[in-house]
Structure 1
Amino acid sequence: MSRIAQAFDSRQWSVIASASAKAAIVALALPLAACGAGGFSLEKAEVDRSILTSSTSASAAPANLDRDSDQTTIGNAVSSADIEQLGGQAVPWANAGTGSRGSITDL
């Protein structure tokens, strides 16, 4: 017999089996005891009004800034375009700050 097998004889296996059975009973009994002892209850739950998760004024400002930046970029593209040289072609524009881009087809 190997040394590992010799270390666990039949008496030790019964102790291990007994301990694991006790652990299983405790693992099942603890959650039930917590519920019976007045644990979590939806009737007792209250809303925590001290937590703020969002605000509309903070998100509205960047959208306006992006729109203003795009309008400035479009205005610069139109004012710097040579209309006679373009001959009716579209004027492209791109705003690296916002990632917006497009082309102006009618001046």
Structure 2
Amino acid sequence: MSRIAQAFDSGQWSVIASASAKAALLTLALPLAACGAGGFSLEKAEVDRSIITSSAPSAPAVPASSDNDSDQTTIGNAVSSADIQELGGQAVPWANAGTGSRGSITELVELKD
């Protein structure tokens, strides 16, 4: 056997293993000790005022075209449920609670196809 192989066979592994374990432990312990010795404190922490944030503009709750469609549906429902003969020329009121629109239909003509 060569002299290098004989040195490792004669129990040198425990010395090498313990030295590398100590180095690994020291490598892990030193940064942690440095953090603790520096003294991080929440009392010393300050708000970072250099960060600027903003928000995106909010979209309207109901788009305008949807409002028109909703009003047209409400008017259509009021006209279709009105009894023209019973009204006798009176206006037909309508109101859309969703949009806040309201009005009255003053003239109705019934067509039969």
TM-score for both structures, normalised by structure 1: 0.44
Question: For the pair shown, which has the larger CA radius of gyration, 1 or 2?
Answer: 2
TM-score, normalised to structure 2, is 0.43
